[in-house]
Structure 1
Amino acid sequence: MREKNVILTNKVILVTGAAGFIGSNLVLELLREAHPVHIIGIDNMNDYYDVFIKEYRLEQIGATLVSDPMKYN
């Protein structure tokens, strides 16, 4: 497979599951490799496993937590 060079500088990147293991590590890597970059992370913060772990991961990536619950019918 051929490696492609993707330029992420000055891009807005959406990461779903940003408080999970994969999402939080992806955000950390994007912050390390692509400067400047604006990352929007979304996570439903469900209690499938300990929410404190998710909150810790968000703290580690320097995220600002915004709570805006959405309701579905």
Structure 2
Amino acid sequence: MPIDNATGPPIYDSLIEEHGDVPGDVRQAAEELQQEAQQAVDFSPVHHRHPSTGRPESSEPPAPPAR
């Protein structure tokens, strides 16, 4: 009897019903982490941060402190 590969193994459907789509959830989490990592290592001038404060650098001078 031929196996229908379009739906996958029969046990897979029951496992998804019982436990959720774990591989799909892992795949989505990995994609989100990859996007976060790409943003974290983005050293373009738009995202440049001051070395001592870690805050985004601005082209405008900082405002004087209020007294």
Give TM-score scaled by structure 2 length: 0.23
Could you say which structure has the larger radius of gyration? 2
- Between Structure 1 and Structure 2, the one with more strand by share is 1
Give TM-score scaled by structure 1 length: 0.21
